[in-house]
Structure 1
């Protein structure tokens, strides 16, 4: 009897061990999970987060969008091959004319007969500014590509009166001097520029006319007063922090600006450039999470100030990430200035980082209502030209996918997947060090629009495809789902003239018949967009 009991106990112990092994094996093999709930809404996605930026820097304007000597140029000097590529980006908002350039730019130099426009020393990027392309040429270009112009005024060497006169030139139909000057220049109707930035990076010591936070707030408030008296309908963007050097406190700048201008401005502008200086892939692809952290900090500051603000019936202040990109290879002294400044070449890992920025904007759609990737052509840009041709850089493709598909309401998505920790690393050459914990291999955003769901997933894993179960918590996946993938042979793959190794590929569609879930395997180092219907 005693032996029988021992055998029974041993059998139970063996079964327990086997069950544990089975459970452990199942757990190890369990798929990642993404849960979509159309009732868990973050906020409306503003299309202006897909904006871009044109600055008088290197070959962005001259030799980029405007090149009368190119065989691809029309009678106005506009490069038509570039124009077509720009149109395909579906850009809703285009910032102009800078950037550092604007802090010594006087808009009157760039209007009127071209043979009467004065050439000037361009002090920000060390080149000759011919002023052959200016306010009216830019507005014409923006109208051709179907985008809204966004102007930055000179609050460095410029005056508040100069800023007011530019609004008058652009937005007043007739009567005062500047409006009549526009008419004299051939534009009978006003341009009606809606968005105006009050300077650029005024917290940076590198900026011409650099000011401390208190002095900038005073100048910006008075410029805003004159500009709004000229056209009460305009939207104004304040210069937020761009200086994240170790001995500087960007939060102090942002807190002061929001406190002093909370009743005046409509947005606060934030800037961020990142790079893979240490050639560490996993550190680099986590960098959009730092942008997301900074977004949440400034959101908290805005919420605090809005409790004390007197804004009438105007919206609260929103965040404009009106400069962001990858910029580190062409950041040495010899590549920073002159005719061919900042001509960064991009690879697949760069495209994944841009996709990560866009995902972050979507996930923070309640507060981020504007973003402008810097810049459009040649200068840290998705489009690259020479006289006899052009090609699309890797970062072009995530921008194109998002701007043509991710609309509606941003959803709060549940993601369960493996994670990793980064080393301590630097985002930029002069930035403070950062370290990221529990970085998910899958970076996810989702947009819901009148029954249509768009899910964008970046698989950060360098070598491993990740099988993932996608669930709908409310409604069913139903019908044909389009699948688009941005990928390439390896993370260092680049595009070039006559060679496109990284691009968007339309994959085989998924057919789902009133399914509450489906499984998809996201390839290593990829961005995937899945688009279809959810029915109730």
Structure 2
């Protein structure tokens, strides 16, 4: 058994927990929408065709904001196709995922779903094959009360009150040559700036997300952000980050250390944004929207050209095991550790497509392993993120060199008195004894310790065994004489909740 140590102190703070860190993503891709969140003939469907079993799981997951309708899909999407009477909506080819889009589910259906799920909408604009004019039309349709052609059109479609969407993504991954309407940084920066200028004129309080790099390995990483922000800095509030972590073709220790790459990526883009702000002599701090992140067995996907044209195909329905869930837990720790600059994040995606929630058409819905660390973190991470600097043994990885076996963060909610420690043990051989100094929280006592761990790290949840992997309570964890002592099993994610009340 090895040991690690850290100290929790309310005087050392990173930032405030933004509830938007616990976002998700619904794209017209595979079965994310159709037979995912929307299936009118499902036994659980409500009067709007929404699967109530999925809605229940979304509420349990604790999702706060959902990005829609893409993703790659949005860059060839006409929003007008998805509004009005369903019988009048056209079927279109989705060039992103080579599928046939019925448009039976569109903007107003999504807004109804978001209201029932209790989530904030984050809408993405098509700045690939379309531009500022079409974006402003969508804004008028969505947010203006009445008395104009497009606002009255919305009212005629049954949405009498404006949707009042506050957060908008200025396109998606337009740095990528796979994207419909792919642009270089100057081309995109100009279009994004003009769109943002118009949106801020409509409502200066709207929050706008400029497209950052689609991944950290593309040749234009960081230089793309620098150029885009030179065009848009005055108007936007966020720059986006996207990252997926693939277990295939990677040694296990490197995969378990995926958070090291996310951590470096956030630091790099924060520095890039601050450099542009200094260059422009603009004191505003651009925040980061990590609005696509997850584990994705991407190397198993043969690519879009391998797909046949058909509606809502089964696509990228990865089944997640215990190791994947521990990695997801470590990525959540990383987002919290950067709470001073990361103001929003969306795990991609919500249902069926690389998702925490799986469904069968006409059948059940269940929680994947990755559901659990997300749900527990969303439920308990509140208040202030404490600056936590653990000391622990290291593990050697092929991809990142030496990384600490312990990856941790903590939050302090002054209102409730809760202090919550989130800890990931990335080591595979031995348990780790963690001692945490809590002297700065007099009288702190352990309320709850749960751990996600299994001797079989390849264990998964299925429709037949939906509870095979789930967090389990740990007895005996105590805080005494200002010291919390916790045993962390190998390849595990833990949540330890203390109270000062």
Which of 386, 393, 398 is the aligned partner of 2:368?
393
Distance 1:360 1:240 in 2: 19
Q: Which residue of 2 aligns with 1:521?
A: 487
The Cα RMSD (Å) is 1.8
Q: Which residue is 1:104 aligned to?
A: 76
Instruction: Write the distance in 1 (CA, Å) between the matches of 2:34 and 2:275.
Output: 44
CA-CA distance at 1:463 after TM superposition? 2.8
CA deviation after TM superposition for structure 1 residue 171, in Å:
0.8
Between 85-94 and 300-309, the greater mean CA deviation after superposition = 300-309
Partner of 2:112: 140
How many residues end up aligned between the 2 structures? Answer: 492
Structure 1 position 373 matched with structure 2 position 347: yes
User: 2:253 aligns to what?
Assistant: 282
- Give per-residue Cα distances to partners, 1:363-419, cap 9 Å, x unaligned: 111011110000000000001111211221111001101110111111111311110
Which sits farther off after the overlay, 403-412 or 228-237? 228-237
Are 1:265 and 2:269 matched, yes or no? no
Residues in 2 aligned to 1:55 and 1:391: alpha-carbon distance in whole angstroms: 19
Match of 1:463 in 2: 429
Tell me if 1:437 matches 2:412: no
TM-score by length of 2: 0.94
SS at match of 2:450: strand
CA contact (8 A) 2:125 2:169 kept: yes
Return the alpha-carbon distance in structure 1 between the equivalents of residues 403 and 121 of structure 2: 37
Please tell me whether the aligned partners of residues 488 and 503 of structure 1 are also in contact (alpha carbons under 8 angstroms): no
Q: Secondary structure at the match of 1:529?
A: strand
Counterpart of 1:181? 153
Tell me whether 1:449 sits opposite 2:419 in the alignment.
no
The structure 1 residue matched to 2:7, chosen from 35, 39, 50, is: 35
Aligned residue runs from structure 1 range 42-81, under 5 A = 42-81=14-53
Quick check: 1:506 aligned with 2:476? no
Residues 92, 530 of structure 1: alpha-carbon distance in 2 compared, 3 angstrom cutoff: same
Q: Indicate the SS of the match to 2:90.
A: coil
1:86 and 2:86 are equivalent in the alignment: no
Structure 1: gaps (5+ residues) = 1-28, 424-434
C-alpha distance 202-289 of structure 1, shift in aligned 2 (>3 A)? same
What are the ranges of 5 or more consecutive residues in structure 2 without an aligned counterpart? none
TM-score by length of 1: 0.88
2:468 partner SS: coil
- How far apart are 1:454 and its partner, in Å? 0.4
Q: Which position in structure 1 is the counterpart of 2:454?
A: 488
1:233 to 1:311, Cα distance in 2 relative to 1, 3 A = farther
Superimposed CA distance per residue, residues 445-474 of structure 1 (whole angstroms, 9 cap, x where no aligned partner)? 111110321001111112311112111252
In structure 2, what is the equivalent of residue 320 of structure 1?
A: 289
Native 8 Å contact 2:478 2:484 kept in 1: no
Task: Supply the distance in 1 between the matched residues of 2:246 and 2:314 (Cα, whole angstroms).
Answer: 20
How far apart, in 2, do the equivalents of 1:503 and 1:389 lie?
Answer: 18
Q: What is the aligned counterpart of 1:154 among 121, 126, 140?
A: 126
